[in-house]
Amino acid sequence: MLPSDILGLITECLSWEDPSQESIRNCSLVSRDFAHICRNHLFSTIKITQTKMSLFVGVTPKISHPIIRFQELIAQNPSLSSYIRTLELGSTHEYDCADGFMALRYLRHVQTFKFGFCDHDNWKSGTERLWSTIPAVAVQSLQLFIQQNPITSLTLFNILQLPISFFEHFRHLEDLSVLNVTPEETPIVPAMVTPPKLKRLDFYETCAFAEVFIVRAGIFDISKLIHLAMDFGSLDRTDTFLRLLPLPTHLQSLELVITKSFNDWTCRGNILSRLLPTSRKSLTSIQIKMQVDETEQFPPYGGFLDELEGISGSNMLENLEIAVVLEASSSANMNPIEWNRLDSVLSEGFSCLLKLHIHAEIAVYNEEDAVDVDDEMERLWEENFEWSKEHLEFTMWYGGTVL
């Protein structure tokens, strides 16, 4: 029999080469020792979600909901719970399965938890559920599960009126990702001794969550964030956006999606200028996507070059990605001098920069206009960005999208 560390390396390789885990399942039948090692891979990640067939309206499922079957499996084999490190729980609202949540009470070692309501595997709006409609038995099991497990990474999606008390026992939380989650209307702030210090924070279409849980209630401490990603969709809540940016002290990665009319709003003074000086120096990656809404003529980079000039000569930036998505009602300023300003700015004060990517997508009404856009952007690419082409890993995507 091979030593256990060698067996561990073998199963590790098999798990990477065979995502279906068929090879691992076969290995688990070889011996007891091999079975124990293989279970670390077979049961480390559990995803509980409904299949498309079980979601047809008026069709009675032929088999019980996956969480019911999971509860039965764990009840019969309690030792399996010790292998689970990642649990994803979604699409549990199509038929009664509250008792299945009892399975969560067996778990003690989960570090990554994903929870919410979705349509099959798509986390999108339209499938939200009010927290108050979740059965009390399921809520109690969830609360006990949270208290018993050292959860460091949490993803929530499509939950309406989530109570602040939900976060009371996330003592180990470091990574938080939130998609389409709203807080309860009259939140009662629990007495949290020490708010968890987050390292990574991702917001998607959930401005109200940020406003209540972070800005007002201080449920999370984001002073030690190294990664911040924010997409407030089309909501015009710039005040919340601006109040979050100065909170991290040593941010390393910043990802922003901004949907604005650049007739009356600009990146100038509203992004990097809002960060603490320590974060402006520690940033290594910036990804900014500007979805241009009702702007007569979009200025190149939406004023973001002024923000870059503000950190010129005193930064550690390695990766820069700028994406622009223009609606058909907007036109792009195609002045090559303005577009090439980016090349000039980067050449003078960004000695650590390695990668640059520019993405320009312009919506048009017909194929003829799309060809014109492609031709103009191709000329910009060929005649400009000489320094970036020579010194960086530089890529540019551009094109007209016909509506």
Chain segment 384-403, per-residue pLDDT in tens: 999 999 999 999 998 877 87
Q: Which residue in 347, 357, 351 sits closest to 393, CA to CA?
A: 357
Q: Cβ distance 249 to 277 under 8 Å?
A: no
Whether 390 maps to a domain, the answer reads yes
For residue 168, the one-letter residue type is E
Instruction: Kindly report, residue by residue over 204-218, the tens digit of the pLDDT.
Output: 877 788 888 887 888
Residue 332 lies in a domain: yes
81 within a domain of the structure (yes/no): no
Report the number of distinct structural domains present in the chain: 2
Report if residue 318 sits inside a domain. yes
pLDDT value for 61: 53
Residue 75 covered by a domain: no
| Closest alpha carbon to 289 in 229, 207, 336, 248 | 229
DSSP 3-state of 170 = coil
pLDDT string in tens for the chain (403-residue length): 667 677 667 666 766 666 667 777 777 777 777 777 777 778 888 988 765 544 444 455 556 778 888 999 999 989 899 999 999 988 655 556 778 888 899 999 999 999 988 754 555 556 788 898 888 888 999 999 999 999 999 999 889 999 988 998 899 999 999 988 989 877 666 556 688 999 999 988 777 888 888 878 888 999 999 999 998 665 556 778 888 999 999 999 999 998 888 888 889 999 999 999 999 999 999 999 998 878 888 888 989 999 999 999 999 999 999 999 888 777 778 788 888 999 999 999 999 999 999 998 888 888 888 888 788 888 888 899 999 999 999 999 988 778 7
Give CA–CA dist 220/184, Å, rounded. 17
Identify the domain containing residue 1 by its residue range: 1-42
Nearest in space to 90 (alpha carbons), one of 133, 126, 122: 122
**Position 98 in a domain:** no
Residue type present at position 57: V
Give the DSSP letter of residue 32: H
Do residues 146 and 170 make contact, with C-beta atoms less than 8 angstroms apart?
yes
Please answer whether residues 386 and 346 qualify as being in contact, where contact means their C-beta atoms are separated by less than 8 angstroms. Answer: no
Instruction: Indicate the residue type of 210.
Output: A
DSSP codes of every residue in 365-403 = SSHHHHHHHHHHHHHHHHHS-HHHHHHSEEEEEEEEEE-
- Residue 371 located in a structural domain: yes
pLDDT at 120: 46
Is 311 a member of any domain? yes
pLDDT of residue 31: 74
3-class SS of residue 230: strand
